[in-house]
Amino acid sequence: MFSFRRRFTALIAAVALAAVFAPPAEAQLKTTIKVSSLTLPVIAPLVWNIMKTRGLDEKHGFTLEIQAYPAISAYYAGFATGETDVVLGGPTVFQKLYQEGVPARIIGTGITLADLVIFAKDPAIKSLADLKGKQIAMDMGSAQFQVVKIYALAKGIDLGKDITVVNANFAVARAQLEASRVDAAMVIEPLASIITRQNPDWKVIFNGAEGWKEVTGETGWELVPAMRAGLIEKDPTAPKKLIAALQDVAKVFHEETAAADKIGAETTKLPPGILSAAISGGRFRFEVKPMSDTAARKSVKDMMELAVKAGFYTQVPDDKIFYAQ
């Protein structure tokens, strides 16, 4: 009897000890969020690398898993096929994916259009209107091209007719202008700050945020975070957690710029000082608001409506494309 009682007491003690040291249920059920990133020194990897390096995913109750792709097409394809759960992308890109049946849900705002710029070498070229009859190098498959075309139409300029467009990605566009094969080039940050450092005589003749505000009253969005509906169904708190982590990343960018620059240089091989220059120059703005913010949601939807008016798409997505947590 004594032996049985002793064994029973030992069993109770073991169970109690296990309960004390067992991880909490929240930790056991921590969601993994897989995100599309790029192997290039551009914005998306800067955002995710800062989040991971600073442990902001764990702080907000999820584990960030970064899937890096070598090209933008693969970057979006990973999200479209479900290989990843989240991607930072252009609002009108998500408009297209949604119409194609991809269960994309925009959960917030992100990078403003301030980082979209057009450079010209000739000091006589001061605006898009001055490019009539000339050539510009642009990535015609990008959301940025759509933004510039919408602006141009509002100004009575038919991009592609009044101005000849040479299709080129951002890096090639810069090279085309450097070789004087075109009269202007469209680029984004951080390449814009690299150009400003290496080619100080080049002039910015168009800024996305300024141009968009001129025709809409809003600064507009270059990149916003979208999450697949499947992950939201699995963990309805995932959007809120990710938005909170992204807001913390924004604080690192704008309140600890030197630290953000260091992480960018170490993880993406971005030249030191370039990210700091983009931020201090006002071309890089990371403003994260959830889609429960009525004004923020409207500003994203306005971009989609203008894309339809410009002829890029046939209809504006229904409100199911937005997830307001």
Identify the band that residue 29 occupies on the pLDDT scale cut at 50, 70 and 90: confident
Strand intervals (E) in 13-115? 31-38, 62-69, 86-89, 104-106, 111-112
pTM of the model: 0.87
CA distances from 62 to 83, 241, 244, 259, 301 (A): 18, 7, 11, 23, 29
Place domain 114-216 in its CATH homologous superfamily.
Periplasmic binding protein-like II (3.40.190.10)
Distance between CA atoms of 283 and 209, rounded to whole angstroms?
A: 9
pLDDT tens, position by position, 85-104: 999 999 999 999 999 999 99
- The CB density around residue 62, as the number of other CB atoms within 10 Å, is 20
pLDDT tens, position by position, 153-196: 999 999 999 999 999 999 999 999 999 999 999 999 999 999 99
114-216: same fold as 27-112+220-321? Answer: yes
Identify the band that residue 239 occupies on the pLDDT scale cut at 50, 70 and 90: very high
Structure confidence at residue 6 (pLDDT): 53
For 27-112+220-321, the fitting CATH number among 1.10.3720.10, 3.40.190.10, 3.40.50.620, 3.30.1330.10 is: 3.40.190.10
The burial class, CB within 10 Å (0-12 / 13-18 / 19+), for 73 is exposed
Identify the band that residue 72 occupies on the pLDDT scale cut at 50, 70 and 90: confident
Examine residue 70 and say whether the peptide bond preceding it is cis (omega within 30 degrees of 0). Answer: no
Question: For the chain, what is the total number of helices (H) and then of strands (E)?
Answer: 15, 11
Q: What's the rounded mean pLDDT across residues 120-125? A: 97
The residues spanned by each domain of the chain are 27-112+220-321, 114-216
Structure confidence at residue 25 (pLDDT): 45
Identify the band that residue 40 occupies on the pLDDT scale cut at 50, 70 and 90: confident
Amino acid identity for residue 302 in this structure: D
Structure confidence at residue 41 (pLDDT): 85
